[in-house]
Structure 1
Amino acid sequence: MFMTQLEMARQGQISDLVREAAAAENIDPEILRQKIAAGTAVICRNNKHLNARPLAVGEGLRTKTNANIGTSGDDTSIDKELEKAKVAAAAGADALMDLSTGGPIDDIRAAIIAETDLCIGSVPLYQAACDAVLRQGKPIVDMTVDDIFDGVKKHLDDGVDFITVHCGVIRDTVARMEREGRLLEVVSRGGSFTVEWMLHNNAENPLFEFYDRLLELVRPYDAVLSLGDGFRPGCLADATDRAQVQELIILGELTQRAQEAGIQVMIEGPGHVPLDQIEANIKLQKRLCHGAPFYVLGPLVTDIAPGYDHITAAIGGTVAGAAGADFLCYVTPSEHLRLPTVEDVHEGVMAVRIAAHAADIVKKIPGAIEKDNAMARFRKNLDWEGQFSVAIDPAKARRIRKESGVDESHGACTMCGALCAYKVMNERKREKAAS
């Protein structure tokens, strides 16, 4: 009889995927099994994604990072997105989300899944919307319930490991949002599609109304449900308002229903959040959603830095991760401006990895601070190859040093040259030892 990873964990069984993921985390498989059984960790790996490494996400584990890629109606190049996938993987991203909405999106998704062994996520509602508009020639609001569920099935059949579904976007929350007032209303694409569909059809969100159908559909694939934040704040002024919190309450209830059906769940979160509200947002999610893993976009801590939003997101991501967020989605310098370039993808992955590592130091994840201690020892000894070996971006560090025109005879860098503090202190110790 088929059992999901959650069901096996609750039966006390340690699956091969759990063993493999635990080895990657350098923890006892039994500890990981217990976390999965409790719903505080998940194993992302669709049964049909045979070339994928299982990715463990959750409490007490290394903070994971995701890179969003995918086409738009203005740029439909498969080759560009495949190059971004390669660059993101080489830069150290743990997962990729294909958010394609332009061109041959089925072919693009299949190519991205085949390109790496990374965990893959997607938003199936985009598929349904694109099929409605581009293939059937009808407005998004005329999608049928079957169209929406067919989109989900298509992505699961292709091997997507976690799917974002905006099940918490319901009519009552829309009314609450409108009564309270928001500057940017709904900035989530999936959320906006769902709101417009509900208003046009005078009907409830099908992914909420027919949630049991969704659970039955997902179960054979053992994919992770990533319950999307359709009401995530798109600016600081909208953060932690009643629409966002009401959706989170609903997602907590849906988390319990999914877990009771043997389906693994993680929760998606904001968005744009002032620095002093981030920790409260994380703690609220963990409380309302019973400790389910939390996946956040950023969060961005200011709205005025287009071109530098990878930095604003890294600031927020560090605070979020340190407070307990488990999965950080990158933001590139192109956020709010354009589809990211290959170079933007690399910069975005590096920024989010820095945030994740800084958070892991606070979380006392085994092996995190040891890397920093190794860097300190290499710096003390002016061991440049050692420094490059533990640097988060060795190629960039090596290039910058080479471009400086440094005089290698004194072993230091061009910041201090022969007056390098390490050099002075090392010479002092040698003199003291010789006396």
Structure 2
Amino acid sequence: MSYTTQMNAARKGIVTGAMETVAKKENMPLETLMGRMAEGTVVIPSNKNHVNIDPEGVGEGLRTKINVNLGISKDCCNLDVEMEKVRTAVEMKAEAIMDLSCFGKTQEFRNRVIAECPAMIGTVPMYDAVGFYDKNLKDITVDEFFKVVERHAQDGVDFATIHAGLNRITAEKIKRNDRLTGIVSRGGSLLYTWMMLNDAENPFYENFDRLLEICTKYDLTLSLGDGCRPGSINDSTDAVQVEELITLGELTKRAWEQDVQVMIEGPGHMAIDEIAGNMMMEKRLCHGAPFYVLGPLVTDVAPGYDHITSAIGGAIAAANGADFLCYVTPAEHLRLPTLDDMKEGIIATRIAAHAADIAKKIPGARNWDNAMSKARADLDWEAMFSLSMDPEKARKYRESSKPEFEDSCTMCGKMCAVRNMKRVHEGKDIQLND
């Protein structure tokens, strides 16, 4: 039997190599995985042309995955630097890489990433359109927009962010609602501008079936972008955001009718007390489709520390149903991230994802923590380093301040609770004074 997409295969009862890989990684029965894929609550983004991918699943009952954004811009266009980021992100166990390049030789960089990288690859084709055609945004035609999408799919991109939900109805709400930060999505703002300049409907909304044909041809997973995501906590959960989300839910059902895999993208900036409700609303309005969130950032006043504000929101979001976290770095709102910025963002987001997996009771999630606790109780420093999310940093901290006694640290010395409990249980004497 043949199949067109991973969803189509699941619905036909065909076991693909990608399904076998994901089921093994997740310790999930194949039948359970395939059932959720058939329903649309789990996706395996795996383009037919991304031949060296190591597939990952995103969705219900699976580990929370993280995505790393990178790519070239006009001000920072060193392809080799960005490729180093790609390699480092994979080494640091990021499951997805999004190439957000918006200047110059975007296809050259994209093809290098796809050829080398085993992680899921995502893009936003809208970013590429202006540079690809070297013409004013207003003058790009509908056909040209779709040619860029197909080029990305043909190159092997596994999931593409398409802001198809920002239609003319939503655009009118933007005009009538007093947002502090308006539209902060780059792709959403470009589409909105094109719509206003041409007095036209969003081409991806108006020609959604054409988009689905491309997705089916290459098994491109559709990541329905939130062009109206809130860019400040003031703008969260407003009529504009909710209107677009309702439309995304409608488009999700249309995609599923064609066996196209779908993820939904979400906020953004949002106060802590709104996060759980937003996760429930998305799952309800979008019929359980996997939810992919940027943050949410829980406060707007910490530039330079937004990896922390994002990790706080991401942990809460994922614990309440979000399936995929887009990392945020300390450079958010300030500059293109450096390699070190990227590392900090990855660790912060992995902490959020893992903390959420414990809360969601993902099978095996606590085992890692239990192993670390055992190593701490045994004062086994080498085991602690090997189990650390960032072994290099843990070892560096330990070595930077050596204690008098190896079975303690310079925080507590001979008064270390773990050291003394261990010694007394071993029948050893405890001398706290020299």
TM-score category by the smaller chain? over 0.9
1:303 — aligned with what?
Answer: 300
Compared CA separation, residues 335 and 381, structure 1 to 2 (3 A): same
Matched, 1:222 2:223: no
Q: Where does 1:276-315 land on structure 2 (aligned, <5 Å)? A: 276-315=273-312
Structure 1 residue 89, shift from structure 2 partner: 1.1
Structure 1 residue 432, shift from structure 2 partner: 8.8
Q: 2:153 aligns with which of 149, 152, 156?
A: 156
CA contact (8 A) 2:130 2:137 kept: yes
Tell me, what secondary structure is at the counterpart of 2:264?
strand
Q: Write the letter of the residue equivalent to 1:43.
A: I
1:43 — aligned with what?
Answer: 44
- Equivalent-residue separation in structure 2 for 1:303 and 1:53 (angstroms): 36
2:396 — aligned with what?
Answer: 399
CA contact (8 A) 2:83 2:113 kept: yes
1:319 — aligned with what?
Answer: 316
Query: Which is worse superposed, 178-187 or 230-239?
Result: 178-187
Q: Write the letter of the residue equivalent to 2:313.
A: G
- Equivalent-residue separation in structure 1 for 2:162 and 2:244 (angstroms): 13
Tell me, what secondary structure is at the counterpart of 2:180?
coil
Structure 1 stretches lacking a partner, 5+ long: none
CA contact (8 A) 2:402 2:409 kept: no
Tell me, what secondary structure is at the counterpart of 1:296?
strand
Structure 1 residue 114, shift from structure 2 partner: 2.0
Q: 1:373 aligns with which of 370, 373, 383?
A: 370
Q: Write the letter of the residue equivalent to 1:129.
A: V
Q: 1:185 aligns with which of 167, 182, 186?
A: 182
2:194 — aligned with what?
Answer: 197
Q: Where does 1:65-80 land on structure 2 (aligned, <5 Å)? A: 65-80=66-81
Report the identity percentage: 53
2:432 — aligned with what?
Answer: none
Matched, 1:123 2:131: no
- Equivalent-residue separation in structure 2 for 1:142 and 1:220 (angstroms): 28
Structure 1 residue 429, shift from structure 2 partner: 1.1
Q: Write the letter of the residue equivalent to 1:381.
A: D
- Equivalent-residue separation in structure 2 for 1:341 and 1:106 (angstroms): 22
- Equivalent-residue separation in structure 2 for 1:35 and 1:141 (angstroms): 41
CA contact (8 A) 1:410 1:417 kept: no
Deviations 1:55-80 (A, max 9, x none): 10001000000000011111111011
Tell me, what secondary structure is at the counterpart of 1:154?
helix
Q: Write the letter of the residue equivalent to 1:94.
A: E
CA contact (8 A) 1:48 1:221 kept: yes
- Equivalent-residue separation in structure 2 for 1:336 and 1:17 (angstroms): 36
Tell me, what secondary structure is at the counterpart of 2:427?
helix
Structure 2 stretches lacking a partner, 5+ long: 430-434
RMSD: 1.2
Tell me, what secondary structure is at the counterpart of 2:67?
strand
- Equivalent-residue separation in structure 2 for 1:230 and 1:95 (angstroms): 21
CA contact (8 A) 1:85 1:115 kept: no
- Equivalent-residue separation in structure 2 for 1:379 and 1:100 (angstroms): 43
- Provide the TM-score with structure 1 as the length reference: 0.97
Tell me, what secondary structure is at the counterpart of 1:431?
coil
- Equivalent-residue separation in structure 1 for 2:82 and 2:219 (angstroms): 27
Q: 1:265 aligns with which of 256, 262, 268?
A: 262
CA contact (8 A) 1:77 1:103 kept: no
Structure 1 residue 319, shift from structure 2 partner: 0.2
Q: Write the letter of the residue equivalent to 2:195.
A: M
- How many residue pairs align between the two structures? 428
Q: Write the letter of the residue equivalent to 2:373.
A: A
Q: Where does 1:103-182 land on structure 2 (aligned, <5 Å)? A: 103-132=104-133, 135=134, 138-182=135-179
Tell me, what secondary structure is at the counterpart of 1:314?
helix
1:429 — aligned with what?
Answer: 425
2:240 — aligned with what?
Answer: 243
- Equivalent-residue separation in structure 1 for 2:220 and 2:401 (angstroms): 49
Matched, 1:360 2:357: yes
CA contact (8 A) 2:50 2:115 kept: no
Compared CA separation, residues 410 and 418, structure 1 to 2 (3 A): farther
Q: Write the letter of the residue equivalent to 2:209.
A: D
Deviations 1:126-155 (A, max 9, x none): 1112223xx3xx211211001110110110
Compared CA separation, residues 74 and 375, structure 1 to 2 (3 A): same
2:93 — aligned with what?
Answer: 92
1:210 — aligned with what?
Answer: 207
- Equivalent-residue separation in structure 1 for 2:268 and 2:76 (angstroms): 25
- Equivalent-residue separation in structure 2 for 1:160 and 1:375 (angstroms): 37
Tell me, what secondary structure is at the counterpart of 1:120?
strand
Query: Which is worse superposed, 290-299 or 370-379?
Result: 370-379
Q: Write the letter of the residue equivalent to 2:414.
A: A
Matched, 1:418 2:414: yes
- Equivalent-residue separation in structure 1 for 2:15 and 2:279 (angstroms): 29
Q: Where does 1:10-89 land on structure 2 (aligned, <5 Å)? A: 10-89=11-90
Q: Write the letter of the residue equivalent to 2:118.
A: D
- Equivalent-residue separation in structure 2 for 1:42 and 1:2 (angstroms): 15
2:252 — aligned with what?
Answer: 255
Tell me, what secondary structure is at the counterpart of 1:67?
strand
CA contact (8 A) 1:75 1:102 kept: no
